[in-house]
Amino acid sequence: VTFWYWTEVTGLCRQMFSRALKLTRGRMCVSKTHAFVFTNCTHGQAQSVLDTFHQYADTHPCLIIGPRKGQLLDEVVARVAPLRVLELGTSCGYSSVCILRLLGSEGRLVTVERDPVTADKGEEIILVAGFKHLQFQVLTCPSAEAIAGLRNNLGDQDLDLVLMDHNPKQYLPDLLALERRGLLSPGCVLLVNNVNGSAARTFLEHIRVWPECYSVCGQLLGMMEVRWNRASRQDSSD
């Protein structure tokens, strides 16, 4: 029993240590990226902010989706012309700035980041890019919590576009919660990053077994575009 007890305790300590190490590394990466962008970009110019991110990412490890996936994101935002956008995984604010610069005057972004230190840095970069709190909101909490209270943030408008770039294991539960709470507009587009890894497997399986509810519009560079069909989902659950 003593041996079993100490094996459990050691395992738990190792897990906690590895989580703390991951968080510290992530925060250091965000901190360095933020400092570089903040110091070197032209404040008030969104394109300069994005160019400075690219300059940094050319030579440093960085969590941003980067220019190639950024182009896919641009193309989707321009085509969908969304009024309400949800982003899961703000990090340094790179993809938030990409989205915001293409939104129309009525467009709004809600972006979610669970780590408070990272969320502050991301929000600062979005403000540095020239956007106002009227156009965006950063929610500092885990995605599940944000989705549970999202109706208060959206009012009576539903989401036209959702970018999932947080934890792939969370993609499926978050999608189901968005559906259950009636937060997706008919034809809402989901842009889902890092679908190639095993962590996104349950999400991909779900999409495949409900072809009448989800149309896969494209997949490139590990990013998948899925169109949600509310009518079909209601028909199939009747």
Burial of 196 (0-12, 13-18, 19+ CB in 10 A): middle
- The two three-digit tokens of residue 222, written as one number: 């590990």
Q: Which residue type sits at 80?
A: V
Minimum gap (Å) between residue 205 Cβ and ligand SAM: 20
CA–CA gap between residue 153 and residue 87 (Å, rounded): 13
Greatest alpha-carbon span in the chain: 65
Q: Which stretch binds ligand SAM (CB under 6 A): 6-14, 42-50, 88-96, 210-218?
A: 88-96
Question: How many CB atoms are located within 10 Å of the residue 235 CB?
Answer: 11
CA–CA gap between residue 226 and residue 218 (Å, rounded): 7
Question: How many CB atoms are located within 10 Å of the residue 2 CB?
Answer: 6
Among 143, 150, 192, 229, binds ligand SAM (CB under 6 A): 143
Residue 114 binds ligand SAM (CB under 6 A): yes
Minimum gap (Å) between residue 211 Cβ and ligand SAM: 27
Q: Which stretch binds ligand SAM (CB under 6 A): 34-42, 159-167, 178-186, 230-238?
A: 159-167
| One character per residue 194-233, x = contact with ligand SAM (rule: CB under 6 A) | ----------------------------------------
Secondary structure of residue 10 in the 3-state scheme: helix
Straight-line distance from the first to the last Cα atom of the chain, in angstroms, rounded to the nearest whole number: 52
| One character per residue 47-86, x = contact with ligand SAM (rule: CB under 6 A) | ----------------xxx---------------------
Residues that bind ligand SAM (CB under 6 A): 63-65, 88-89, 91-92, 94-95, 112-115, 118, 142-143, 165-167, 170
